[in-house]
Amino acid sequence: MRIAWISPSPLLPTGLGKVTNYLTQGLAKRGFRVFIGNPQYAGQPLEINSVIHYPIVESNHIPRFLRAVKPDVVVVYASHWVPPYNRIAEICQKLNLRTLFYVTVEFSSLSVHFIRPLIGVNFIATPSQYGKKVMVEHGIPEDRILVVPHGVDTRIFRPFEARFEGFDDFFIYGMVARNNLRKEFPVVIRAFAQLPDEVKESSLLYLHTSPVEENITLTGSVRGWNINILTAKYGLIGKVLLPSDADKWWGVPEHELAQIYNALDVYCHASSGEGFGLPVLEAMACGKPVIASNNTAIPEIVGDAGILVPCHEEDIETAEGFTVATTKIKPFSDAMAKLYYDENLRRTLSQRALERAKQFTWKRAIDLIEKAIYLALEHPRLGPEILRFSKPILSDTNQGMFSKYIPRGKGLALDIGSGKLCLAKRVLEEKGYNYVSLDVRSSRRVMVVGDARYLPFRDRAFDFVWCNQVLEHIPTEDQLRVVEEARRVGKHGCIIYPSESLDCYWYDPDHKQISCGVKKISEIKEGFYVLRW
């Protein structure tokens, strides 16, 4: 059987890359002819370990790749709701090809963005029971989903002696993850900062990530935490370790990653959501006691082999319409202190982690993905009826979060500092307004290019003025002027900006100090200042 496997990063030591390599090589050893569509490869087709890599650098390369390979089944393992992967099911329908989507679910609520690209898919695999449960709740038939958990190679990830050179006498906490907003590095940093002084003095926090990640999302936003700013803010300079430049950008081979896990005393993993949580499993296979967020798929991995930290009851909605849960800081810090003081508990959790990790094998994963491939051959395509339970898309995380401050109305609404994507447009139009965007930078969606300090409109020209998280980007001495201009041109309006108590204020180095004059006329709501008139 011929398999076309489409996935990002198959040659890089990332989570997606590792899973792709283990599964495709396992299928190749069982006699499948496997072809990988590789976005990171731009040369001629190349065979590596019995798997042939094809370049699909441009989105129009995907149909060409599929026509050349003539697969029996197309397997997609990627963030299927983002381009170019969100059109693959449609392309396969036109080419009359069977499709299996291997889907990760990191959220408790799914939007149309997530569900729509699954129309036309023959079968779905997902690495967790949690993922299956959420998809069923959102309209995917239960009998069209198979749970295929990832595995861990215990020949590589196993306990052995390793320490960070020069830090033998320190107790080391650590976390391994890519730097994006879903990975809650601020939770771990703040939890470490809240440790008792005697614990903090004899401990270090190692974060295997990049200090600032520029990751462009669907909304075009830069999404990542500024680790250096957070470290300085919480007084932890010299206490937080980061990897070398080469490691943080390109990752490390598995045997080096195993050395990192083994150099830790406790593995910490705070995340607002995981489709599986491979680093947690790898750390457990190395016998590390684990502290992790009690949400999404993470409890399925950890079980009773670690400490699961509760999340806040109120979920947060993301830019793409997904809902995520955030981890509580104080309980996380308490768990870190508990494992520092209690050696017997560390030993118990270490033994449990080793035993539990043995349940997750790549052989089982390959068996199940093979089963899913054959099920894709048997089932008809999913139809548009799967959209009936999906959520409408909110324009932006905070546009949706703060839409309660936008009254229903009619007439014109001005969005000051709209950005090139005009993220508030959908919300304002849903509230009944005719949308007008203003920004200092031009783009095809920006209607008016202008300076917020000198708005080119007559007095009370707009029925409503919206200015969300713009003020902190304006020099402090000019902020009051922007507020005055907004109130001049708008009969009603709302200006929102973050409090310095929020990590989202600190992760962006461009944020300016907020003027005292502006603060005096604002009210604090949910960690943000809100000014309404």
pLDDT tens over the chain, length 533 residues:
999 999 977 777 788 889 999 999 999 999 999 999 988 777 888 888 899 999 887 767 899 999 999 999 999 999 888 878 889 999 999 999 999 999 999 887 777 778 889 999 999 999 999 999 999 988 899 999 999 999 999 999 999 999 888 898 999 999 999 888 789 999 999 999 999 999 999 999 999 998 875 444 333 344 578 899 889 989 999 999 999 765 555 578 899 999 999 999 999 999 988 999 999 999 999 999 999 999 999 999 999 999 999 997 655 544 444 555 689 999 999 999 999 999 999 999 999 999 999 999 999 999 999 999 999 999 999 998 887 766 554 344 444 456 778 899 999 999 999 887 787 888 898 889 999 999 988 887 889 999 999 999 999 999 999 998 888 889 989 999 999 999 999 999 999 888 776 655 555 556 788 888 888 888 877 668 889 99
Does 171-359 match 2-150+366-387 at the fold level? yes
Q: How far, in Å, CA of 139 to CA of 143, rounded?
A: 12
Q: What is the Cα–Cα distance from 426 to 413, expressed in whole angstroms?
A: 12
CA dist 209 to 8, 178, 237, 277, 333, Å?
Answer: 19, 6, 16, 15, 20
Residue 488: exposure state from Cβ atoms within 10 A (0-12, 13-18, ≥19): middle
Strand partners for 462: 490
Closest C-alpha to 421, from 215, 218, 219, 216: 219
CA distances from 327 to 363, 453, 531 (A): 33, 39, 29
Q: Tell me the domain boundaries of the chain.
A: 2-150+366-387, 171-359, 397-532
Note the pLDDT of residue 67: 95
Which class does domain 397-532 fall in?
alpha beta
User: Rounded to whole angstroms, how far apart are CA atoms 321 and 113?
Assistant: 8
- For the 2-150+366-387 domain, the top CATH level (class) is alpha beta
Residue 71: predicted pLDDT: 98
Which residue, chain included where needed, has tokens 């033994």? 351
Which pairs from 423-428 meet CB under 8 Å and 24+ separation?
Answer: 423/219, 423/319, 423/395, 423/396, 423/399, 424/395, 424/396, 424/399, 424/466, 424/468, 425/395, 426/393, 426/394, 426/395, 426/399, 427/394, 427/395, 427/399, 427/400, 427/403, 428/464, 428/466
- Residues forming beta bridges with residue 473, ordered by sequence position: none
Q: Alpha carbon of 388 to those of 74, 112, 127, 139, 323: distances in Å?
A: 26, 9, 24, 7, 18
In this structure, the dihedral spanned by the alpha carbons of residues 284, 286, 290 and 294, taken in order and rounded to 10 degrees, is: -20
CA contacts within 13 A on the Cβ side of 145: 23
Q: Which pLDDT value is given to residue 324? A: 55
Chain position carrying tokens 């003020």: 471
**CATH 3.40.50.2000 is held by the domain 171-359:** yes
